[in-house]
Chains A and B, each alone.
Chain A
Amino acid sequence: MKKFGIFALFMVILMSFTNSTGYQPGDKATDFKLKSVDGKMYSMADYKDAKGFIVVFTCNHCPFAVKYEDRVIELAKKYKPKGYVLLAINPNDPAAAPDDSYELMKVRAKEKGFTFPYLFDEGQKIYPQYGATKTPHVFLLDKNLIVKYIGAIDDNVEDAKAVKEHYLENAIAALEKGQEPSPATTKAIGCTIKVKK
């Protein structure tokens, strides 16, 4: 019994470490039903023919996310014809980040001409399951919603032209070839996801 207790304790500790970071590559991601700026609800299940999904946790207020906005718009355009659906999700609670309200999401999407759904994680139920911790934070899923890549879009927030490693695009290219992306995870700076205290 004592041995089992130690084993159980060990498992709990192990699980608390692995759970704290949300999904890892290889995990199956949850689908969602979230409202976009057009007032309609979107789920990944709606896209029967998709080859994969680019889920981007992003928002209006974060200057780091804003630096990547134009690149997200280009990615959506570039990969849509190739069968990859880009879904942007704002994970912030507007009570903590007033610029990220649903109404202001609509304004931003119109200003920038988003061609992809810009979804509101109302009640903040989805981002903790993914383990998103910041904006921007990207999850690439295959058509079966298996997580293939987690992290940054590329390695230069300041200057899209000076990028050396296109992490996300390289990951999509690997998927296209039936390979596992490498690296499958990358790190980058970002704004914390805003939760009302």
Chain B
Amino acid sequence: MRYFRFILAIVLFSSFTSNAQDLISFKTYDELNAYLKENNSKPLVVNFWATWCAPCVKELPYFEKLNQENQNVKVILVSLDFEKQVESKLKPFLKKKKYTSTSIYLADKDYNTWLPKVDKNWSGSIPATLIIKDGKMTFIEQDFSNYEELNTYVNQTITK
């Protein structure tokens, strides 16, 4: 029992101290999809990005700000980085940024199978963003110029 309390204390302590989210990895889109379905207490804003994609990296701060300031949604950042760059680029990048948004690495390279499951019209360019509210998916294949544009778009979509 004493041992249990000790564990509990450690768990509580670590949950208070670590603001930055650990990277969650999924091998397939179906695993990601199952995760999204389980974590649906709030509308989700799912941003597909990669460290090698300059317009993606540029708009990430807007998504992070959205996660911190818009209490109506939860932001999930899904990295599509190359597997060889997860350790060398993605993890150092996330460590430096200390985002509070949930970070996921999706390793699935069978794009032709999973891209149409996100949206049948997705041509495959990134950045791209998926908003999920009560199972309803709204997809947008373009970047946002600033935080206000993103926040307005998200609010309009989840109140529709």
Interface residues of chain A, those whose CB is within 8 Å of chain B, are 21, 63-64, 67, 133-134, 137, 151-152, 155-158, 165, 167, 183, 186-193, 197
Contacts and interface: CB of A to CB of B under 8 A. Distances in A.
A187 B121 CA distance: 10
Given A21-B123, A133-B123, A64 B52 contact: yes
Contacts, number: 66
Interface stretch (B36-44, B109-117, B131-139): B109-117
Contacts of A187: 111-112, 115-116, 122-124
Q: Chain B contact residues: over half helix, strand or loop, or mixed? A: loop
A188 B124 contact: yes
B80 interface: yes
A191 B116 contact: no
B109 A192 contact: no
Contacts of B127: 192
A157 to B, nearest CB: 6
A21 B121 contact: yes
A133 B109 contact: no
Given A157-B82, A191-B53, A133 B112 contact: no
Contacts of B121: 21
B83 interface: yes
A183 B82 contact: no
Nearest to A194: B55
